[in-house]
Amino acid sequence: MKPILAQLVAGQTLTTEQAYRAFDLIMTGQSSPAQTASLLSMMQQRRANVDEIVGAAQVMRERATRVSVPNGLTAIDLVGTGGDHAQTFNISTAASLVTAAAARKHDVVVAKHGNKAVTSNSGSSQVLQTLGVKLQVQPDTLTKCMELAGICFCFAPAHHPAMKHAAPIRADLGFRTIFNILGPLTNPAGATRQVIGVFEPNLTITLANVLLKLGCQHAMVVHGQLPAPTGQPHGVLDELSTCGPSQISHVKGDQIKTYEVDPTTLGLPLSHPQALHADGSESSAKIIRDLLNGAHGPARDIVCLNAAAALVVADITKDLVAGIELANEAIDSGGAQNALNKLVEITQADPTKTD
């Protein structure tokens, strides 16, 4: 690790191979806490580049506890980096349930990857637990969830045991590091079709290039805006926004196209951020239950928009407008609610004991 640190101190960046070596040392416990903290701090100060993120992600992927996707099915993921401080309800989690219902007949399933909240009031794991989903289950149970419910939830701590060496150091540092963007890149089911939300607009292009190097088939890296009082900087979402424009870096094949979308051009009314607010997992769960039961309004609009993006990257629909229509049908038919019910049923039947 010392030569790598010396290179960073000298102002140089790392190659993919060097980053792989550095993060392999961290995740196997061979890097001292001081060395790990130094590396994370220096990389964050200038921001990790594409090659460095690729190398780190490769290590995490190799050391993850994998989940098998049922034969004949394609897995997709809707996931955010977090860090937007918007305090919304769990949009991507709700959109994952809607996507699962809309996509299953096309042999596409959702392998939702998520964790506890760090900067928000409710993480994906917390709201799903509130909705009745058991988090700590066997990998075979997750495969069964995909097959029968069309969706599984891969609870990050259960799939990335190598992170135990870095976790206390990240907590002590108290600021974002490269690890904040590695989670969405390390889906345990190996999903190569993803919608990834990021907290900064420049990250859409960066992560799109990372996904390209990691063998992604089809993905959208998205960043949404929230309105702000005159003269103040706008707020941000690590999802597609119905409160303002969103930036998308669209990866398909070997091409990346970056563009902006306005929800009003997709037939959606502009929402006020307060209509998407949740005080915690109970509040977020209530919003999700209501929309799955057919409620209309801002929560449903933003969920359908993000589900539409997933349906595009799954190659089920050609554009967001068609995806929004299909997402609405998945709610109105009761399919999204059924996906949640089945997910709860299967995970609760898992024999794994939890504290």
Is the full-model pTM beyond 0.75? Answer: yes
Residues linked to residue 40 through DSSP beta bridges, in sequence order: none
Domains detected in the chain = 2-63 (1.20.970.10), 74-158+173-346 (3.40.1030.10)
At residue 138, φ and ψ (nearest 5 deg) are -70, 150
Residues 76, 108: Cα–Cα separation, whole Å: 7
| 324 exposure class (CB count in 10 Å sphere: 0-12, 13-18, 19+) | buried
Give Cβ neighbours of residue 234 (< 8 Å, ≥ 6 apart). Answer: 225, 226, 227, 228, 244
- Tokens representing residue 62 in the block: 């190799």
Q: Residue 132 to residues 2, 14, 346: CA-CA distances in angstroms?
A: 47, 44, 11
DSSP state at residue 80: E
β partners of residue 114: 155
Give me the residues of the chain with pLDDT under 70, please: 82-86, 117-122, 228-234, 355
Nearest to 184 by CA among 194, 176, 175, 169: 194
Write out the two tokens for 113. Answer: 């990857």
Structure tokens at 258: 């970056």
Q: Phi/psi at 28 (nearest 5 deg)? A: -105, 5
Provide the 10 A C-beta neighbour count for residue 345.
Answer: 14
Q: Write down the pLDDT at residue 119.
A: 43
Which of 171, 65, 83, 173 lies closest to 123, judged by CA?
83
Distances (CA, A) of 312 to 133, 194, 302: 27, 10, 16
Q: Which two tokens stand for residue 320?
A: 């967001």
Q: Which two tokens stand for residue 100?
A: 């699962």
The SS3 call for residue 355 is coil
